[in-house]
């Protein structure tokens, strides 16, 4: 075989090892992040805010709201110390800031480490979203799901120093391996998911459903590998144990939420009350939540039952434990069944084009508001 043919053969073999959907995800990643950076800079120039006039400081637009909590945990660890309004950093779950600490040892900067982790996890999330959709649908639907992930109105948050992209990547991978019956992988990923956000532990429920479905719901066929389904609960239990060692209260991360105005509430009453609010940002969050719930309810036949249940739980639990800032538009960002539903609606070419334009414009507006610390998106 001539050398040129050998090189072509090696190149083709290398391409086969590239995860499906990765190239498309990278293309959309570069295009959308460049556009969002431009929007952020224009917003700062027009409406004021921090000085972003020099190149390295451009990236500061991704450091807003809770980002400083994660940087503090990564840099200094957890502490019982509270700020002037009795907030404490043990309200935030450990996986993301601990990963930041490890990455910062290599990169040399905690903020840069957070950005790197968030954006790498965003690409990983896209790959697993593609793989998950391909279990049931064609390549075009899977690519549209990636597109709508990037176009979702609050998708810019995936690139900030927040847990959203990490949580999404872990939960999608957990679902994918559960659907494939690879319970060791799914269990470990569920464990990590539970250590990422307060509601991460609920992934144990769809994991259990997928396990039972793989056994045709015959309890007699349950094997010892079912114990792997408990790993998300173990993850949460470990953080509870750490809270106990730190504060003397295993549920301190829950109780400290009162400093943010957190409380138990009827989700329907909470939503209706927010819709009637005189505050524009509160009404916006309520309308965003209502629209997401309506989309899941109206299109429930388009997605797997375990996806639907998981998506509803990710919305209804925060609705039941609201705080003063609420942040529902950000919480809903990790409800991946919404991306799949939009991808299936987009089978209609006219609807696909219309949704692409509207969602892109909507995200641009929210990005402009987010970078100047607007209360419309926290």
Kindly tell me the number of DSSP H helices and DSSP E strands found in the chain.
17, 0
Q: How far apart are the first and last CA of the chain?
A: 60
Residue 351 in any domain: the answer is yes
Residue 299 in any domain: the answer is no
User: What's the domain count of the chain?
Assistant: 1
What are the pLDDT tens digits along the chain (378 aa)? 555 555 555 545 544 566 888 999 999 999 999 999 999 888 877 776 655 555 556 777 888 888 999 999 999 999 998 887 889 999 999 999 999 999 999 999 999 999 999 999 999 999 999 999 999 999 999 999 999 999 999 999 999 999 999 999 999 999 999 999 999 999 999 999 999 999 999 999 999 999 999 999 898 888 999 999 999 999 999 999 999 999 999 999 999 988 877 777 888 888 888 888 888 888 888 899 999 999 999 988 888 999 999 999 999 998 887 665 568 899 999 999 999 999 999 999 999 999 999 999 999 999 999 888 777 776
Q: For residues 156 and 5, what is the distance between their CA atoms, to the nearest angstrom?
A: 43
Q: For residues 197 and 286, what is the distance between their CA atoms, to the nearest angstrom?
A: 22
Query: Which pLDDT score is estimated for 237?
Result: 98
Q: Which domain holds residue 229?
A: 32-47+64-78+88-247+334-370
What DSSP line would sit under 77-110, residue for residue?
---S---TTS--GGGS-SHHHHHHHHHHHHHS-H
Of 71, 69, 78, 70, nearest in space to 239 by CA: 78
Rg (CA), the chain: 21
What DSSP line would sit under 112-170, residue for residue?
HHHHHHHHHHHHHHHHHHHHHHHTTS-HHHHHHHHHHHHHSTTGGGGGSSSSHHHHHHH
Residue 259 in any domain: the answer is no
Quote the pTM value: 0.92
Residue 123 in any domain: the answer is yes
Residue 37 in any domain: the answer is yes
Residue 160 in any domain: the answer is yes
Query: Which pLDDT score is estimated for 49?
Result: 60
Residue 217 in any domain: the answer is yes
Residue 311 in any domain: the answer is no
């Amino acid at each position: 075989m001539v050398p040129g043919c050998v090189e072509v053969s090696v190149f083709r073999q290398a391409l086969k090892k590239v995860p499906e959907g990765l190239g498309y995800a990278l293309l959309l990643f570069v295009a959308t992040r460049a556009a969002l950076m431009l929007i952020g800079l224009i917003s700062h120039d027009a409406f004021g805010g921090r000085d972003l006039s020099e190149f390295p400081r451009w990236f500061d637009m991704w450091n807003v709201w809770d980002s400083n909590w994660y940087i503090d945990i990564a840099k200094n660890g957890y502490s019982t110390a509270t700020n002037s309004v009795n907030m404490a950093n043990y309200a935030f779950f450990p996986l993301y800031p601990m990963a930041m600490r490890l990455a910062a040892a290599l990169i040399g900067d905690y903020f840069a480490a957070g950005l790197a982790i968030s954006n790498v996890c965003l690409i990983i999330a896209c790959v697993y979203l593609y793989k998950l959709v391909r279990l049931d649908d064609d390549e075009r639907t899977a690519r549209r799901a990636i597109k709508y992930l990037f176009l979702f109105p609050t998708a810019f948050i995936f690139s900030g120093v927040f847990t959203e992209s990490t949580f999404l990547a872990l939960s999608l991978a957990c679902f994918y391996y559960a659907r494939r019956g690879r319970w060791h992988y799914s269990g470990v990923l569920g464990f990590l998911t539970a250590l990422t956000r307060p509601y991460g532990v609920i992934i144990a429920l769809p994991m259990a459903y997928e396990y039972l479905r793989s056994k045709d719901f015959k309890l007699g066929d349950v094997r010892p590998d079912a114990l792997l389904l408990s790993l998300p609960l173990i993850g949460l239990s470990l953080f509870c144990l750490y809270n106990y060692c730190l504060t003397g209260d295993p549920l301190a991360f829950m109780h400290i939420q009162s400093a943010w105005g957190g409380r138990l509430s009827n989700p329907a009453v909470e939503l209706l009350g927010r819709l009637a609010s005189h505050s524009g940002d509160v009404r916006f969050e309520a309308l965003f939540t209502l629209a997401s719930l309506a989309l899941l309810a109206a299109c429930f036949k388009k997605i797997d039952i375990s996806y639907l249940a998981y998506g509803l739980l990710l919305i209804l639990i925060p609705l039941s434990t609201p705080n003063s800032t609420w942040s529902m538009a950000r919480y809903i960002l990790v409800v991946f069944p919404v991306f799949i539903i939009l991808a299936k609606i987009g089978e209609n070419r006219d609807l696909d084009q219309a949704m692409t334009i509207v969602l892109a414009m909507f995200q641009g507006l929210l990005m402009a508001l987010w970078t100047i610390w607007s209360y419309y998106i926290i």
